[in-house]
Structure 1
Amino acid sequence: MKKTFRKIHLWLAVPFGLIITIICFTGALLVFEDQVTQLTNRHLYYVESPGSQPLPVGTLVEKVESQLTKGATITGVTIYPQPDRSYQVNLSAPKGAAVYIDPYTGEVLGQSQRTPFFRTVFMLHRWLLDSQPADGGIFWGKRITGISTLLFVIILLSGIVIWWPRSRKGLKNGIQIALRKGKARFWHDLHAAGGIYVLLLVLVMALTGLTWSFDWYKNAFYTLFGVETTAPAKGPAHKEKSPQGPQPGTTTEATAPVTPFACWQQVYNQVAAENPDRLKIEITDGTASVSNNRYGNIRGTDRYTFDPQSGQITGASLYKDTGNSGKIRGWIYSVHTGAWGGNLTRIIWFLAALLGATLPLTGYYLWIKRLYRKRHNRAVH
């Protein structure tokens, strides 16, 4: 049986090994993208001399709006609890663009998008630098990475069968990487034992990553966890609050805000008071999202709705009350990237992805060495 699995392992790995190496290596680079970006552009994300009290959110957003070029609009603002963090004002165009502003002075610190380096790494990781055809044709880059990842799962599983020891002594030898028994032994152990060490983590990365490659796989993956793949109709928020504004039949003076952003500070104050342990609060027109999942689903949020005119909170949908369908996407991303447990799991995922990237390379070395040995033996005889 092992002979059959060796053939499966080899003849799947040989044509797709380099692609698997690229996927694993670029995935490792993306693990700390946010941290590296903030470190290399610290002047955008942090304020050197925090003041005593930030300016009102509406005032800050208006300052940004007055400097926007034609065609771009403000879609929201992200506020962090750390006093030395700048505010992130999100823009409609280009996609993913944001302006960072000093919350104490109103100074626009600059605009940031995904860096060219990480944009290239991401496109290489997901699509091998290919792009979606305008005519709706086959997206070959996405297709090839998806097929390669799927075959990587089979390669990993066949590798378990090949490695599986027959005795306790064999198990001991199978998990050791010899450093003083020659180069050939070292590369063999790095491939075999190293593959076993990272097998589970790399397998998890591959199985979660496939949800972005194939719809049939995503549907099956969601079904496995009891999640409906069709989006349910949106119902009312879990917690409804009666508006405290004027009731029908009463007359009051008009108190409409001067600008669309005038009530955003009021909304922030209310939401922040209810969520002292928040990571960040993002406010858009009529919605406030609170991120407070430090460990686990990093995309988990509590959502509040508010009246854009008065700033009155009208409802809340809490993450803890959200069904599986609302949580699974965030969990897939958190587990795939290793962000679910903070920097510790990021480091583990980074190292596992790097070692995973070496597996095809060490496999190529062993295969070529074996071919050379066979040819040499034939020449001798």
Structure 2
Amino acid sequence: MTLKQIFGKLHLWLGLASGLVVLIVAGTGILLVFEDELDEWANKDFYVVDVPQNAQRVSLDSMYHVAKAYDSSIKVTRMYLESKAPEQSVIFYAKKKKTHTWHIAVNPYTGKIIRAREFDKRFFGVVLNLHRHLCMDETGKVITHASCLIFVLMVITGLILWWPKRWHILKQRTRIAWSSKWKRLNWDLHAVGGFYVHLVLLCISLTGMVFAYPWFSNFVYQLADGKPAPKKEAPSNTIKAPIKAGFYESLYEQANAKLPYKGRVTILLPEKDSLAITVNKMNREAAVDNVIDVLYFEKGTGRLLKESLFKNSSTGNKIRRMNLPIHTGKLFGWPTQILVLIAAMVAFSLPITGFSIWMGRKKKKAKGTRNPLRTVPTKEESAVV
């Protein structure tokens, strides 16, 4: 048995084992590429408010208490505000019994709640749950994580199987014969289509592995920094002081003064009173997505204790920060989103075309004409081997 035949068997059986999961993950991934844009379009009233003339924004502290009073059983843990975007509502992220999360939108000019919605039960919440966990909690997480690793191997073995034996047939391996019969067209869609997006699919699957496996995330840090991922925790409060009126508004103002660019400010309330309050700001003016600077403020006094700016981060931290926008395609905005969308659509088709190829060869084997594990087409199928 040749090495290519071994890779062929590996590609076949891994594909059969993970095909259904890939179909679900890729299908939901297609929807999630433009999740933010579609969600804001479908729920414009949740995110956008009318800006009255000469209106003054209600203090963040007042809005926080309104959101906190919405339901006594939920706990507000984060606040999201878009600086230099007066038409945006203020979103409060809340948890209930550590299993249910809520988003509460507040009008910054009236101080009243626009609407509250359970985050995981919204349309894209269900889609995201399918994408990450197959809606099966921890069991689904294990399956999707393993399938992500398998998909990396599928992309690599698929490229090996696609690789032409002779360079003069490269042209035929890089074009789809649209006018050919179904068997040849199906093989082209699987092999040639997969080849054109294999680098994008490899990036998506490798960044997925960073989310899936802590050991792989640490491996990225080891390669970039020569040491494991640092522990990320807010510094301790040096002085304990009660929170006074206007405290959260002052944090928002300090963050914007320190980081004057346009961006989303996130205030994270610590679970422990002994820890400082973390304030993140995502730079909307940066060349790439997800560039975030972090400030830590003393709870009660509002004194700046520490700053962690993106430009001063280690190479490992910068790569890790880029992991999400690479995975979702948001790295350079809509051009890379479209590229990832196309790749996700091809990935969705691969289990279908691959299964069709296998079934066709299985039928031929039953007639004693062909080995079903053969991974390259015959002369009749492709005229390239």
Cα 1:347–1:61, aligned 2, differ >3 Å: closer, same or farther?
same
Which residue of 130, 133, 136 corresponds with 1:127?
Answer: 133
1:1-381 paired onto structure 2 within 5 Å = 1-52=3-54, 53-65=56-68, 67-80=69-82, 81-93=84-96, 95-112=100-117, 113-132=119-138, 140-226=139-225, 228-229=227-228, 231-232=230-231, 260-284=244-268, 286-292=277-283, 298-376=289-367
Name the aligned partner's letter for residue 323 of structure 1.
S
Structure 1 residue 236: Cα displacement: 7.3
C-alpha contact 1:260 1:308 (8 A) present in aligned 2: no
Structure 1 residue 206: Cα displacement: 1.2
Deviations 1:83-126 (A, max 9, x none): 21111123243644221111111121011324443333223222
Structure 1 residue 160: Cα displacement: 1.5
> Which protein has the larger Cα radius of gyration, Structure 1 or Structure 2?
1
C-alpha contact 2:278 2:294 (8 A) present in aligned 1: yes
TM-score (ref. length: structure 2) = 0.81
Structure 1 residue 308: Cα displacement: 4.2
How far apart, in 2, do the equivalents of 1:198 and 1:295 lie?
Answer: 27
Name the aligned partner's letter for residue 128 of structure 1.
L
Deviations 1:37-76 (A, max 9, x none): 21111111000344433222223323333x3322333334
How far apart, in 1, do the equivalents of 2:61 and 2:11 lie?
Answer: 60
Tell me which moved more, 77-86 or 193-202.
77-86
Name the aligned partner's letter for residue 266 of structure 2.
E
TM-score (ref. length: structure 1) = 0.82
How far apart, in 2, do the equivalents of 1:125 and 1:317 lie?
Answer: 32
Deviations 1:202-253 (A, max 9, x none): 111111212333343333343233353353587979xxxxx9xxxxxxxxxx
C-alpha contact 2:81 2:266 (8 A) present in aligned 1: yes
- SS of the equivalent of 1:346 reads helix
How far apart, in 1, do the equivalents of 2:298 and 2:142 lie?
Answer: 44
Name the aligned partner's letter for residue 102 of structure 2.
A
- SS of the equivalent of 2:364 reads helix
Name the aligned partner's letter for residue 15 of structure 1.
A
Structure 1 residue 315: Cα displacement: 4.1
Structure 1 residue 180: Cα displacement: 1.1
How far apart, in 2, do the equivalents of 1:4 and 1:233 lie?
Answer: 44
Q: Percent identity, aligned pairs only?
A: 30
Structure 1 residue 350: Cα displacement: 1.6
Name the aligned partner's letter for residue 88 of structure 1.
I
Deviations 1:328-357 (A, max 9, x none): 432222222222111221221121011112
Cα 1:274–1:211, aligned 2, differ >3 Å: closer, same or farther?
closer
How far apart, in 2, do the equivalents of 1:295 and 1:49 lie?
Answer: 27
Name the aligned partner's letter for residue 310 of structure 2.
Y
C-alpha contact 1:297 1:330 (8 A) present in aligned 2: no
C-alpha contact 1:267 1:313 (8 A) present in aligned 2: no
Name the aligned partner's letter for residue 6 of structure 1.
G
Name the aligned partner's letter for residue 335 of structure 2.
L
Cα 1:193–1:295, aligned 2, differ >3 Å: closer, same or farther?
farther
Cα 1:340–1:218, aligned 2, differ >3 Å: closer, same or farther?
same
Q: Which runs of 5+ in 2 are unaligned?
A: 270-276, 370-385
C-alpha contact 1:58 1:262 (8 A) present in aligned 2: yes
Name the aligned partner's letter for residue 318 of structure 1.
L
C-alpha contact 1:130 1:141 (8 A) present in aligned 2: yes
Deviations 1:262-308 (A, max 9, x none): 13323323322333323111234544221115557644322223344
Cα 1:360–1:287, aligned 2, differ >3 Å: closer, same or farther?
closer
Name the aligned partner's letter for residue 26 of structure 1.
T
Q: Which runs of 5+ in 1 are unaligned?
A: 133-139, 238-242, 244-255
The total of aligned residue pairs comes to: 352
Deviations 1:130-180 (A, max 9, x none): 223xxxxxxx42232222222222222122222112344311111101111
* Alignment match, 2:383: none
Cα 1:264–1:147, aligned 2, differ >3 Å: closer, same or farther?
closer
How far apart, in 2, do the equivalents of 1:83 and 1:339 lie?
Answer: 24
Structure 1 residue 196: Cα displacement: 0.3
Structure 1 residue 261: Cα displacement: 4.6
Cα 1:49–1:17, aligned 2, differ >3 Å: closer, same or farther?
same
How big is the alpha-carbon RMSD for the aligned residues of Structure 1 and Structure 2?
A: 2.9
C-alpha contact 1:211 1:218 (8 A) present in aligned 2: yes
Structure 1 residue 200: Cα displacement: 0.6
